[in-house]
Structure 1
Amino acid sequence: MDKFMDAAGVDKVYGNPVEKDRTVVIPAAEVVTSLGFGMGGSSKGEGGGGGGGYSVSRPVAVVIVTENGVRVEPVVDVTKVALAMFTAVGFMLSVLAKMKKGA
C-alpha cells in the first residue's frame, strides 16, 4: 500500500528543475491514483474477494522562473482535445439525426 500511495507524492507531480542561462524550468504533472476492493458470496457459503488499483500521470504545465518573474505555461494535449471535439461532434450529429427522424 505504501508503494501505491507513493505514486501520488509531490516528487511525482513536480519534476526535477532544469537550469540554463539563468532560467529554471520545472515540469508539472497531474497524477491520478485509484483503488477498488470488493467482496461477495453466495447462499451456498462460497465467497471471494479482490482488489486492485492503478496510477497514471500526464504532463500539464511547465513552471518557468526567470529574472523577470515566474510564469506557468500549460501543456496542451492535442490528442485529448481532438478526441473531445470528435466526441462532441458525434453526439451533436446523433441528436440531430434523432430529431430529424422524429419530425
Structure 2
Amino acid sequence: MELPDAVTTAVETIRDSAGVERVYGEPIERDDRTVVPVARVAYGFGGGFGEGSSSGVNGDSEDAPAEHGSGGGGGGGVVAKPIGALEITDENTRFVRVDDRQRLLGAVVLGVTVGWLLGTMSD
C-alpha cells in the first residue's frame, strides 16, 4: 500500500530535521572559551488511514447502502528542551548542566500556597 504524498512529505521532513545540528546549537566564542548549547530533542509521528465496505446489515450486499469510505490522518511534533552546554577552553572541556531546581522549588511553593488557600477557604 502506497502512502499518500502528504504523509510521505511529512515523514521526509521529520527525518531530514532529526540531525545532530538540532541537538547542538551554534558555537558561541567569547574570550578564550567556546560554548556549545546542548538540547534534548524528541520527535513523534503518527498516522492512520481507512477504507469502506459495502456489506449490509445481514452481510448481504443487496441491502447495503451505497459504497463509500474514506480515511486519512496524520500528525507529528517535536519538543526541544535545553539541558546544558559544552564549555571548551584550552585547558579542558566540561559539560555544564542547566539547573531546574529553582523552577521545581517555585512549583512546590506555589502548590503549598494554593493548598493552604483552599484549606482555609473550606473552613
Q: TM-score range by the shorter chain?
A: 0.5 to 0.7
Q: Which runs of 5+ in 2 are unaligned?
A: 1-10, 55-67, 113-123
Match of 2:28 among 5, 11, 18: 18
Residue matched to 1:94: none
Partner of 1:92: none
Alignment check: 8 A CA contact 1:7 1:55 kept = no
Unaligned runs of 5+ in 1: 90-103
- What is residue 69 of structure 2 aligned with on the other side? 46
Partners of 1:54 and 1:37 in 2: CA distance: 12
Q: Does residue 4 of structure 1 match 2:14?
A: yes
Q: 1:3 to 1:62 in 2, by over 3 A?
A: same
Aligned counterparts, 1:85-96, within 5 A = none
Of all paired residues, the percent bearing the same amino acid is 37
Among candidates 61, 65, 68, match of residue 84 of structure 2: 61
Q: Which of 46, 55, 71 lines up with 1:36 in the alignment?
A: 46
Residues 23-76 of structure 1, C-alpha deviation per residue, up to 9 Å, x if partnerless? 111000111110001124565552312111011211111100112201101113
Taking the aligned partners of 1:19 and 1:71, their CA distance within structure 2 comes to 15
CA RMSD of aligned residues (A): 2.9
Does 2:96 match 1:73? yes
The structure richer in strand per residue is: 1
Larger Rg: 2
Could you tell me the TM-score, scaled by structure 2's length? 0.57
CA distance in 1 between counterparts of 2:78 and 2:35 reads 25
Post-superposition shift, 1:3?
Answer: 2.2
Q: CA 1:84/1:32 → structure 2, altered by over 3 Å: closer, same or farther?
A: farther
- The answer to whether the 8 A contact 1:64-1:71 is kept is yes
Following superposition, which runs of at least 4 residues in structure 1 exceed 4 angstroms of deviation? Answer: 41-45, 82-86
Letter in 2 for 1:7: S
